Amino acid sequence: MSEAPIQHGGGISAAAARHGGRPEEWLDLSTGINPCPVRLPPVDAAAWHRLPDQSRLSKARLAAATYYRSGNCLPLPVPGTQAVIQLLPRIVPPGRRAAVVSPTYGEYGRVLRNAGLAVDAIDSLEGVRDEHALVVVVNPNNPDGRLYPSEELLRLWRSLSEAGGTLVVDEAFADIEPSATLAPLAGAGKGLVVFRSFGKFFGLAGLRLGYVLGEEALLADIAEWLGPWAVSGPALTISAGLMTGDCEPIRQAIRERKAALDAVLQAAGLRIAGGTPLFSLVEHEQAQNLQEWLCSRHVLVRAFDYDRRWLRFGLAPDAAADMRLAEALASFGSDP
């Protein structure tokens, strides 16, 4: 029996079916996606029509190498980070264990356990033991925003790789403040893999695109496991266009939206327990009631079954949405 699917954010249709309203009228704060999608660069007709060929792929990989500052490592495009999480069990040698620094994005543990692997949820890097052949760290972490400095991760990488193990660092939320990124080192040797999300920062989650950085042999294996033409032509072309453009306005817009969100949360008297530039984590004794209340106002935020006091708030798209959230929060109970 495999574990049941995780209830992720983004389930607006389901929420609307339960609480009323048309999905497009809801304010979806349940994901960590840039709510101000960038303008799409032009997509040539051939991107839709033809199988994505080598030159389209190469352009995307070169653009990603520049964007991630990964030097000789040409990041491998994959149809969303999830697609490569599904493949992670393959890099754990038989009989060895995996460790996931937790709590974090639930798909790591679920996919590894469903593949029959022994997985330890460890609460810090100190929990890594010799028997762990795979260690997963989301950095900064989702949902609490915990950030490991790169020196600590490099130390862990060194000790893991000496024992033939692999460190996976998921940097899905590292685009805005990339100070701790290991992307520039990921091609430098065995045993370090970095996952990057394209859709979160650029506000294009529907495109299904991520990049994997690591030593060439592992990237070749992943490419082989995914098979030819794993990523769509439009995704490759849009990504190449945006990654070579000026990303500073996108960063700036996200920072402004994040400041506005935190101002609303604080004005409502909520305690911000963590976060990244793309979301804030609120700790609240009545988190479940608050989530229900927000749903009744057609505002969706993300709850977590492993910590009933937590709610994750994504960024609202504009000042009107900030106001709507502020009003919904202000009217929550008399004893919030």
Binding pattern for the stretch 174-213 against a second copy, x by CB under 8 A and - elsewhere: -----------------------------xxxxxx-----
* Residue ranges in 5-44 that form contacts with a second copy under rule CB under 8 A: 5-6, 8-14, 23-24, 28, 31, 33, 37, 40
Contact letters for a second copy, residues 110-139 (x by CB under 8 A):
-x--x-------------------------
Per-position x/- string for 220-249, each x denoting binding to a second copy as judged by CB under 8 A, each - no binding: ----xxxxxxxxxxxx--------------
User: How many helices (H) and strands (E) in the chain?
Assistant: 12, 13
**Per-residue tokens: 101:** 């620094």
Closer to a second copy by CB, 160 or 231: give it.
Answer: 231
51 binds a second copy (CB under 8 A): yes
DSSP 93: P
**Closest approach of a second copy to the CB of residue 47, in Å:** 5
Q: Which is nearer to a second copy, 58 or 266 (CB)?
A: 58
Nearer to a second copy, 64 or 207 (CB): 207
**23 burial class (0-12, 13-18, 19+ CB within 10 angstroms)?**
middle
Query: Is position 64 an interface residue for a second copy (rule: CB under 8 A)?
Result: no
With beta carbons less than 8 A apart as the criterion, state whether 90 and 96 touch. Answer: no
CA gap 12, 62 in Å, rounded:
36
Sheet strands (E) in the chain: 27-28, 76-78, 97-101, 119-122, 132-138, 166-170, 192-197, 210-213, 271-276, 279-283, 299-300, 302-303, 310-314
CA distance 47 to 158: 41
Q: Which is nearer to a second copy, 52 or 274 (CB)?
A: 52
Residue 28 has φ and ψ, to the nearest 5°, of: -95, 105
Task: Please list the residues that pair with 98 across neighbouring strands.
Answer: 119, 134
313's tokens: 């708030």
Considering beta carbons, is residue 45 or 335 the nearer one to a second copy?
Answer: 45
Q: How far is the CB of 266 from a second copy (least distance, A)?
A: 27
Name the residues that contact a second copy, by CB under 8 A.
Answer: 2, 5-6, 8-14, 23-24, 28, 31, 33, 37, 40, 45-56, 79-80, 82-83, 85-86, 107, 111, 114, 203-208, 224-235
